[in-house]
Amino acid sequence: MSSSNCRVVLVRPQIAGNVGATARVMHNFGLEQLVLVAPEADPLAPEARKMSTQGEAILHAAQRVASLSEALADCGLTAATSARTGGLFRQQTIGPPEAVMPHLVAACERGPAALVFGPEPTGLTNDEVSLCNYLIHIPTPPDYPALNLAQAVAISVYAYYRASLKISATPAQREPPAPFADQERMFGRLQAALEAIHFLYGPKADSLMHALRHLIGRAEPTPMEVKLLHGLARQIEWYVREHGPDRSV
């Protein structure tokens, strides 16, 4: 079980007690990496330390970064969590914890992967959700679907632990996915190339690119496959420079 590769990312957490409770449940299930994106809460505040119980070492070791992209830079696969599922950006590769966690556990066998949680008042933005390969939705009665941040972390981390118990001890044979930062550069180049040939054009451009990101992201592209897509984008851009976009259709 590669629990050392599973990273818990809290985006703009506001309540110190929730950060502390997150550290506690991480310690319960053997996770160690806590990353805080632009935190408003102090992870070393008295309330955080009080709620962490035996997880205080995780609070002291927590990494603070300025952006979600920075938090995910070396991750091969990422899963966001959200109570909201409406709209195009939240309908791609969505599932309950037990459906998504096997993918995350398998990715952690090969390298870093992340569970991402949004801030208490609002949750993750569409832009932040679009950076992740999967979206976890914890089913609840519709009259009050929003869970407390620490509760959502506890349910998700427990589901990760349960899924990890089912993974064979045999090392994965597939090459690890390319790091998030390399995939982001590839997506940027691919987007520019597809804009050049007007595949991405008009009001549907963002939704098409979002769908492509998830299509490619679910395949967990290796470094070689990312280079291949880079090369494809580069060749498209060269053709457009030499011949102009095809306007015959």
CA 138 distance to own-chain centroid? 16
Which of 11, 41, 50 shows the shortest CA–CA distance to 153?
11
What 8-state DSSP symbol labels residue 12?
Answer: S
Question: Based on the structure, what is the number of domains in the chain?
Answer: 2
Residues 161 and 189 in one domain: no
Residues 206 and 155 in one domain: no
Q: Is residue 29 part of a domain?
A: yes
pLDDT at 132 over 50: yes
Categorise residue 198: left if φ over 0, alpha if ψ from -120 to 50, beta otherwise.
left
* CATH number, domain with residue 218: 1.10.8.590
* CATH number, domain with residue 130: 3.40.1280.10
Contact between 106 and 1 (Cβ < 8 Å): no
Residues 152 and 37 in one domain: yes
| Single pTM value for the model | 0.74
Residues 229 and 160 in one domain: no
Domain extent, residue 215, equals 180-243
Q: Is residue 152 part of a domain?
A: yes
Which of 129, 33, 21, 49 shows the shortest CA–CA distance to 84?
129
Residue 111's identity, in one-letter code, is G
pLDDT at 197 over 70: yes
Residues 194 and 134 in one domain: no
pLDDT at 203 over 60: yes
Please report the pLDDT score of residue 145 as a whole number.
Answer: 72
Which of 54, 19, 1 shows the shortest CA–CA distance to 149?
19
Residues 79 and 128 in one domain: yes
What sign has the CA pseudo-torsion 82, 92, 69, 181?
positive
Please report the pLDDT score of residue 154 as a whole number.
Answer: 96
Residues 63 and 109 in one domain: yes
- Strand locations in the chain, DSSP E? 6-11, 33-37, 63-65, 77-81, 94-95, 113-117, 134-136
Highest mean pLDDT among 61-65, 125-129, 194-198, 233-237: 61-65
